[in-house]
Amino acid sequence: MPPVIEVKDLTKNFKDIRAVDNLSFSVPAGEVYGFLGQNGAGKSTTIRMLATLIKPSAGEIRLFGLDLQRHRKEILRQVGAIIERPDLYKYLTGLENLRIFAAMSGIRPTTGKLMDQLEMVGLAERAHSKVKTYSQGMKQRLGIATALVHDPQLIILDEPVNGLDPQGIADIRNLILHLSKGLKKTVLVSSHLLSEIELIADSMLIIDRGKKLVEGKVNELFDPSETLVEVKTTDDAAIWDKLSTSSWKDDLQPRRSDRIVLKLYRSRVPEFMKALVEMDAGILSLNTRHSLEDYFLSLTSGQQHVDAFKD
């Protein structure tokens, strides 16, 4: 089955700032696709381009095999999106909001169907309350309901669990899994909660400064039995050169200025430490990280963020 989303050489400039830089990726049908990046990495800009809120400066976007610019209306009938927080009409009720967005999507469901939607996100009892009386979590859930009301094939969720309590987060997680595995929909999720992405995503894309860092299946990019080894030596440049010409070269992660990072199976860590000693490396520190967050942080250029959260 062809990919639902195909992005090729996507670029967006805001005056002198290049927010997205020749980004290419594809989202397979029926998967949960995680979209990761730090603040300001270009995630929102990319998602807004997918949702036709922003026009690309260059590049191509195809959804369902069709060019997005030329077949916008046809494509958007199959897309449900929440961009950043779901702001709704505060002076209207939840039911009224849902009805409006359903109508804008070209459908006129009965009140019963709309109530079913609200039931699905746990808002049936508050259907007739004005949205201004809703909590942040309730607004988030209503936003998801508006994204799903017209039964789209592609759902784009930008930070869907913001403001939710642990139960709410779990509910959204289960919902996303149901949409993907049960209803065979394609879900693009961007989130800062990497632990959640780790639990639900089939594939992922990590971007930094508008550029792609990695893309692929989660279980291929990140194996929990693997670990990231970060080592700091007295002469990182020399040790890097030695490692890159050794049997460890395939385990090396993209070069960083402040440390050397390798991805190894945990069982090989002692072997690596021994190799360092044999290379006469003056080891200043050696850490292992084994979560997606660790993986993410190792790839992205968030030095300050890393130091802030170090043990």
Partner 1 sequence: MWTLLKIELFKIFKRSRTYIAFGAITAIILLIQVALKFDGKSYIDLLMNNLKDSFDLTDDLKVKILNGYLICFVILNTLLIQMPLLVALVAGDSIAGEANMGTLRLSLTRPVSRTQYMLVKFAAATIYTLALLIWMALLALFGSMLIFGVNDMVVFRSDGIEQIPVFDVLWRYLAAFGFAAVALTTVSSLAFFLSVFAENSIGPIIATMSIVIVFTILSEMNIPIYDNTIKPYLFTSHMVAWKGFFYVKADADGATIPGSIENLRAIMKSLGILIAYTIVFTGSAVWVFNKKDILS
Which positions touch partner 1 (CB under 8 A)? 14, 48, 51-55, 72-77, 79-92, 96, 100-101, 103-106, 108, 143, 146
**Closest approach of Cβ 58 to partner 1, in Å?**
14
When the beta carbons of 61 and 239 are compared against partner 1, the nearer one is 61
**Closest approach of Cβ 54 to partner 1, in Å?**
4
Q: Residues 156, 29, 144, CA angle at the centre, nearest 5°?
A: 25
When the beta carbons of 47 and 164 are compared against partner 1, the nearer one is 47
Pairing of strands 211-217, 58-63: unpaired
CA gyration radius, the chain: 22
**Closest approach of Cβ 117 to partner 1, in Å?**
16
Tokens, residue 151: 């039964």
Residue 273: burial class (beta carbons within 10 Å; 0-12, 13-18, 19+): middle
When the beta carbons of 132 and 305 are compared against partner 1, the nearer one is 132
**Closest approach of Cβ 266 to partner 1, in Å?**
44
Tokens, residue 180: 């993907």
**Closest approach of Cβ 92 to partner 1, in Å?**
6
- Return d(Cα 23, Cα 215) in angstroms, integer: 11
Core vs surface per residue 32-47: b (16+ CB within 10 A) or e: bbbbbbbeebbbbbbb
Contact 18, 46 (CB under 8 A): no
Give me the DSSP letters along 94-124. Answer: HHHHHHHHHHHTT----HHHHHHHHHHTT-G
**Closest approach of Cβ 156 to partner 1, in Å?**
8
When the beta carbons of 93 and 180 are compared against partner 1, the nearer one is 93
When the beta carbons of 99 and 242 are compared against partner 1, the nearer one is 99
- Return d(Cα 277, Cα 195) in angstroms, integer: 34
Residue 65: burial class (beta carbons within 10 Å; 0-12, 13-18, 19+): exposed
When the beta carbons of 93 and 298 are compared against partner 1, the nearer one is 93
When the beta carbons of 5 and 229 are compared against partner 1, the nearer one is 5
Core vs surface per residue 68-81: b (16+ CB within 10 A) or e: beeeeeebbebbbb
**Closest approach of Cβ 210 to partner 1, in Å?**
15
Residue 306: burial class (beta carbons within 10 Å; 0-12, 13-18, 19+): middle
**Closest approach of Cβ 5 to partner 1, in Å?**
14
When the beta carbons of 101 and 295 are compared against partner 1, the nearer one is 101
